[in-house]
Structure 1
Amino acid sequence: MLDFAIFAITFLLILVGAVLYLYPSSRQACGIPGLAPTEEKDGNLQDIVNKGSLHEFLFSLHEKFGPVASFWFGRRLVVSLGSLDLLKQHINPNKTSDPFQMMLKSLLGYQSGVIGEAAESHIQKKLYENGINKALQSNFSILIKLSEELLVKWCSYPQSQHVPLCQHMLGFAMKSVTQTAMGSSFEDDQEVLRFRRNHDTIWAEIGKGFLDGSIERSPNRKKLYEAALMEMETMVKKAIKERRGKNLGRHVFIDSLLQSNLSDKQVLEDSMIFSLAGCVITANLCTWAIYFLTTSEGVQEKLYKEVTRVLGKGPITLEKIEQLSYCRQILCETVRTASLTPISARLQELEGRIDQHSIPKETLVLYALGVVLQDNTAWPLAYRFDPDRFEEESAKQNLTLLGFSGSLECPELRFAYMVATVLLCVLVRKLHLLPVKGQVVETKYELVTSPKEEAWLTVSKRSPAN
């Protein structure tokens, strides 16, 4: 229980900008280079806020102090690792907990599945993963249908019309996630709009209001956040009630949870986590992938040729999806170039070592993934969007190590990969995705990385000869 309390409060610190007073720690940084606390009680919190995001703070920290660096949250020492070699030393591939899910659970005040025996956590993790995999298989036709609806909409636009990419991808992701997770009740656009309104309110505070502490200074915003969270939980509870003990056709994520031995509380919390995280990860993966394709005509044409070769004029199927190796390279490079989830972390449960440095027990160790993903020593010409780099087995292994591919990837990202693959196949078969001249898309680094403002594109229909 103590481990969970430390972990939850510390993650709350990362994302809510609060000050940790409960676990005073020595000011001795164990010889690890880094920043001294700027303020006695707040540590380096104001330094993080001044940089704009934790990722940007870590980028400057590692630029100044090297691949292993330290700083302070309140009275607690935090160690950040910013190189592949150091992460290889520290990451335990047998860990059952998903740091991304744990961050969200900590923020939302959820505890089920976070503490308990390792064997129990492993069983729940496998149940969660298998539930998503089964829901994807059962709802594959829904993903195609939603992608084709978006295609029809885009085909109706004149070539000069600017398409709001972020807005459309979030709407598309909302429909994909809600129908796959909770079933046909979310075929009603009004239900999706309600879900989106609450999702936007919750995620805005997770991403920004909690980071700088502004939500705590605004009782009205905090009240709106709590009301949105309560309303979303009510919507999820309603979906759970509708599906409990019934066979309603296609299998959705909630069905897997209800068929298990999970408590009602665990079913609700896991459904909430997948709905929240699944939407934002899927929306931003699709947004960045399409945006990068608009800026890389050669990559887009190479994808079109692969889709044409693998699919021909036939339907998209799960079996054929597995053959789209270049499409997967594009999505992997999208995750890397955009630094889709720039921060991960583990609690140092026992005293350990990184190179010549000792890490004390119960130290929070941050994985500066956004720093590592932009490291030129690990990724030559890291600033370039270059899917061909993932032809190399070493690049694939590095991405797997960081949790963005293979057995270590979070289930929500696995879901997003499938949705994005279907969408790209549907779109590039019929459309050229084109950039808006002069557009500069800046990046907003939060729990999930997104464009700072709306990203725009234009589209033109491919000729039948193409």
Structure 2
Amino acid sequence: MTTIARSPETAPGRLPIVGHALRMKRRPGDFLLSLQASGDAVTVIQLGPKQMYVVNEPGLIRELLRDPETFARGGPITERFRMMFGNGLGISEGEFHRRQRSVIQPAFDHSRIVGYTALMSEVVATRVESWPDGQQIAVDKEMADLALTNVTKVIFAADTAIDIPEFVAATTVVLSGLFRRMTDTIGLTRLPTPANLRYRAATEYLRRTINQVISDYRQSGVDRGDLLSTMLYARDDDGEPVMTDQQLHDEVMTFFIAGSNTISNTLSWALHEIATNPEVEQRLHDEVDRVLAGRAAGYHDVARLEYTRRVITETLRKRTQGLFLSRVTTRDVHLGGYHIPAGSDVLYSFHALNHNPAIHAHPERFDPDRWLPERARAIPRGAFMPFSIGVHGCIGDQFAWVEMIVLLATITARWRLVSAPGHQPKPKLAITMPVDSLPMIAHRREVGVASS
């Protein structure tokens, strides 16, 4: 007997002409979470003239991500990303994507990650030693500098001419601008406003800077053993270069953004949550004192920093790095009993999953112990995928976990960071939901030698 797929229901609250665009623009997180509460596995929304399908059920999102041939990268986010980042690993598809991934994968094998960790450990130890005891520091900027310094050392073995503060500032402008462009249904982002001009200038600065570094590498002719050299000197079966300068640019740009912004945002939010949850702070300090005794964390400490990992995991849940993502159907498809036509934009929101009380009890509570093995097993498959899954899952996910654990443990082993009086940080509306600002008072911790 053939099962007839049904058409998804349209989300309530649709207005004439604009549809759900105003709700999506003003409070996108709340709007997407409300679709979770509707109980419909797939819902239709209208963003201006555009109809989109929102997949709400974790298992169906997992199914979608495991079928890139049917649910190809596309839609409002992907197209904006492609305009900025070209055809890098975060955007490319099919055989081309698989080839690029195979070329880049060796840069993230176990031995490389161990080496990267040693570099990161040295960077963070040096950085935090410069903090003034008892003084206020801009934690969001410190984390941005740390993350970008680390990813720079992974991509470029040698020092480069990149101005890290300026690069961080330009990256922040671009990510905020991309979000505005994703939710712009009437073309406001094409006007010559100061914000749009800043976005264009920041975009050009990033492109120009990266192109200059690639040019310098190519002219030197030296294989430096870093990620850029791995890509630059990769050859096909005929001995020809695998990547053009344009493709190198696209890959480097992708790694800069993916490898710095999410890391710095997560660490900033983690330090805020630690400061506002005394029990979490005490348990974290107990663990890093026992494991590290005040020294910088290294690769072989990661397995012992179990509570630190849970703090990072809970931060990735509560402070989800991204409101929604999109795909485009390449054919008519039935998903969970719903019919979705070919060429449809399909949205899904990890933010909504991570804040759904039916999946995570008391979702606004910061509770690292929800990730204890016996409790985590109750979470449905597909309900928590911070680095996605399948062929398009983050190629550097293991590197990212190690980096965040090592940096957070090293910082909290040496410092207690206290929220600045009267300041309540807020998320900025951007693709990766960074903190608007995070001033904190740094107090040096005196830690004795821990017992083994």
Q: TM-score range by the shorter chain?
A: 0.7 to 0.9
Within the candidate set 46, 55, 80, 1:81 is matched to 55
What is the alpha-carbon distance in structure 2 between the residues aligned to residue 413 and residue 116 of structure 1?
Answer: 18
Letter of the 2:189 partner, please give it: I
Q: Does 1:447 align with 2:436?
A: no
Q: Which residue of 1 aligns with 2:95?
A: 119
Alpha-carbon deviation of 1:271? 0.4
Within the candidate set 326, 329, 333, 2:314 is matched to 333
Letter of the 2:444 partner, please give it: K
Q: Which residue of 2 aligns with 1:19?
A: none
SS of match in other structure, 1:443: coil
Q: Is the 8 A contact 1:43 1:74 kept in 2?
A: yes
Matches within 5 A, 1:200-211: 200-208=172-180, 211=183
Q: Is the 8 A contact 2:419 2:439 kept in 1?
A: yes
The Cα offsets for residues 147-181 of structure 1, whole Å up to 9 and x where unpaired, read as 11331123x232xx333221222222222222322
C-alpha change, 1:197 and 1:313, in structure 2 (3 Å) is closer
Letter of the 2:356 partner, please give it: D
Alpha-carbon deviation of 1:132? 4.7
SS of match in other structure, 1:139: helix
Q: Which residue of 2 aligns with 1:12?
A: none
Matches within 5 A, 1:261-340: 261-311=242-292, 316-340=297-321
SS of match in other structure, 2:15: coil
C-alpha change, 1:117 and 1:434, in structure 2 (3 Å) is closer
Alpha-carbon deviation of 1:241? 2.6
What is the alpha-carbon distance in structure 2 between the residues aligned to residue 34 and residue 102 of structure 1?
Answer: 23
Q: Is the 8 A contact 1:403 1:410 kept in 2?
A: no
C-alpha change, 1:223 and 1:445, in structure 2 (3 Å) is closer
Q: Is the 8 A contact 2:73 2:328 kept in 1?
A: no
Q: Which residue of 2 aligns with 1:421?
A: 405
SS of match in other structure, 1:463: coil
What is the alpha-carbon distance in structure 2 between the residues aligned to residue 315 and residue 194 of structure 1?
Answer: 28
SS of match in other structure, 1:185: coil
RMSD (Å) for aligned C-alpha atoms: 3.4
What is the alpha-carbon distance in structure 2 between the residues aligned to residue 312 and residue 401 of structure 1?
Answer: 36
Alpha-carbon deviation of 1:269? 0.4
Give unmatched runs, 5+ long, in structure 1.
1-28
Aligned-pair identity in percent equals 17
Q: Which residue of 1 aligns with 2:237?
A: none
C-alpha change, 1:136 and 1:321, in structure 2 (3 Å) is same
Q: Is the 8 A contact 2:427 2:433 kept in 1?
A: yes
Give unmatched runs, 5+ long, in structure 2.
1-5, 235-241
Q: Which residue of 2 aligns with 1:350?
A: 331
The Cα offsets for residues 235-273 of structure 1, whole Å up to 9 and x where unpaired, read as 212222333364465x33212211321222211101011
The Cα offsets for residues 36-78 of structure 1, whole Å up to 9 and x where unpaired, read as 85344x54333422x24x3333223444574532112344321
Alpha-carbon deviation of 1:337? 0.8
Q: Is the 8 A contact 2:417 2:440 kept in 1?
A: yes
Alpha-carbon deviation of 1:328? 1.8
Alpha-carbon deviation of 1:221? 4.6
Q: Is the 8 A contact 1:112 1:266 kept in 2?
A: yes
Q: Does 1:461 align with 2:435?
A: no
Within the candidate set 92, 99, 120, 1:143 is matched to 120
Letter of the 2:168 partner, please give it: R
Q: Is the 8 A contact 1:343 1:366 kept in 2?
A: yes
What is the alpha-carbon distance in structure 1 between the residues aligned to residue 140 and residue 56 of structure 2?
Answer: 30
Within the candidate set 103, 107, 121, 1:131 is matched to 107
Q: Is the 8 A contact 1:164 1:456 kept in 2?
A: yes
SS of match in other structure, 2:258: helix
Q: Which moved more, 1:368-377 or 1:399-408?
A: 399-408
SS of match in other structure, 1:203: helix
Letter of the 2:340 partner, please give it: I
The alignment's TM-score, normalised by the length of structure 2, stands at 0.82
Q: Which residue of 2 aligns with 1:10?
A: none
Matches within 5 A, 1:40-59: 40=17, 42-49=18-25, 51-52=26-27, 54-59=28-33
How many residues get paired?
A: 428
Q: Which moved more, 1:295-304 or 1:311-320?
A: 311-320
Letter of the 1:167 partner, please give it: K
The Cα offsets for residues 390-432 of structure 1, whole Å up to 9 and x where unpaired, read as 1226737757664325855424654443322221121122222
Alpha-carbon deviation of 1:372? 0.7
Q: Is the 8 A contact 1:34 1:71 kept in 2?
A: yes
What is the alpha-carbon distance in structure 2 between the residues aligned to residue 151 and residue 114 of structure 1?
Answer: 32
Q: Which moved more, 1:82-91 or 1:145-154?
A: 82-91
Q: Is the 8 A contact 2:155 2:252 kept in 1?
A: yes
